[in-house]
Amino acid sequence: MAKANKENKEEQREFSEFKKLLPKEYREMLEEMGINSYEDLIGLSIMLGIDPDKMQKYSEEHGEEDIPSMEEVMFDDDNPVGDISRFLNQMTEENTNDFDEEYPFALPEKKIFEDKPSQAYRIRIKLDRAPVPIWREIEVPSNISLEFFAFVIIEAMGWDNEHLHQFVQNGKIYQSDPCIKSMNGGGIAPQFNVFSSNGYPLSEILKKKDDCILFEYDFGDSWNHDVCLKGIREYKEGEEPALTILEGKGVCPPEDCGGVRGYAELLKLSGKKRKSENDKEQLQWYGIYKDYDPNYFDIDYVKENLCCLWEEVL
């Protein structure tokens, strides 16, 4: 565990040094998009539709002694990852009105489809492959936009909304408009069928009981959530639609801890009877103290956050 955390810190330091080599506009763009590591950068390259086979071929053609530096890769037109530099360049040249400065943190303009009938959807969200059960059960109006639903999931789970996110279902990817527009504007065709998560009400994605969709948060740590529709009911006469937390279990893992595998290692380290100073330092870095209970769930805290989120719609 100590070795893994040491490597993580070293990678963070190297990525920080790499960003210093980039123009200021590029650095700011990466920060705004939540790209805080090489893993995030790789996730961005895949999201841009860069062909993995092309990346593999380029890697095989360059031996270990001929590996270019990261900044050379970024601006090498022959290297598939060089598409990232052209994407960032396009982004900095776009009109600021076309790209929200707070993306990916700002709420979407389209939060609800008022022309669509509203039913109460009971939905279960489960963190895939988590070392301990981490899930939430919520009730939401069926006519909220898919992109707004992403923010509901983030609030219900307890994430800090510091990274990119997307939905995946039956070979289709649903992302926010700013991301899709920037890719198309940069002339980079997505590798997959990418659709606007702002353009669909939740009811057109989850249509009947037991329909499911995958929600991915943070392309680096890749926190995958299984999201399933467990029940549908009509609102009672006089009942106002709302975002409701019904039940749940498990505290949300720390951000940037290495995904479910990294979180499992942290819990294992936390359970050790004898901890070195380095062990304690690593646990404190991720907010895991002596009284940390991975099974704890503060339903009142989530309820308050969802209420505040729903106020953005009213």
Please determine, for residue 308, whether its predicted confidence score (pLDDT) is greater than 80.
yes
Q: How far is CA 124 from CA 79, 165, 281, 289, in A?
A: 42, 18, 35, 29
pLDDT number for residue 194: 87
Three-state SS sequence of the chain: CHHHHHHHHHHHHHHHHHHHCCCHHHHHHHHHCCCCCHHHHHHHHHHCCCCHHHHHHHHHHCCHHHCCCHHHHHCCCCCHHHHHHHHHHHHHHCCHHHCCCCCCCCCCCCCECCCCCCCEEEEEEEECCCCCCCEEEEEEECCEEHHHHHHHHHHHHCCCCCCCEEEEECCEEEECHHHHHHHHHCCCCCCCEEEECCCCEHHHCCCCCCCEEEEEECCCCCEEEEEEEEEEECCCCCCCCCCEEEEEECCCCCCCCCHHHHHHHHHHHHCCCCCCHHHHHHHHHCCCCCCCCCCCCCHHHHHHHHHHHHHCCC
The domain made up of 120-251+293-311 has a fold known as 3.10.290
**Dihedral angle over CA of 91, 97, 99, 104, nearest 10:** 150
pLDDT number for residue 183: 52
pLDDT digits (tens, 9 = 90+) for 155-212: 999 999 988 899 999 989 999 876 666 555 444 445 457 899 999 999 999 999 999 9
The answer to whether residues 138 and 306 touch, using CB atoms and an 8 Å cutoff, is yes
pLDDT digits (tens, 9 = 90+) for 56-100: 565 556 544 454 444 454 445 555 555 555 555 555 444 334 434
Nearest Cα residue to 206 out of 230, 173, 224, 225: 230
Please determine, for residue 113, whether its predicted confidence score (pLDDT) is greater than 60.
yes
Cite the residue boundaries of each domain of the chain with CATH code 3.10.290.30.
120-251+293-311
Alpha-carbon Rg for the chain, nearest whole angstrom, is 21
Those residues whose C-beta lies under 8 Å from the C-beta of residue 216, and which sit 6 or more positions away, are 165, 166, 167, 168, 222, 223, 224, 225
Nearest Cα residue to 109 out of 147, 143, 159: 147
Q: What is the percent of the chain with per-residue pLDDT over 90, rounded to a whole number?
A: 53
Average pLDDT, the chain: 80
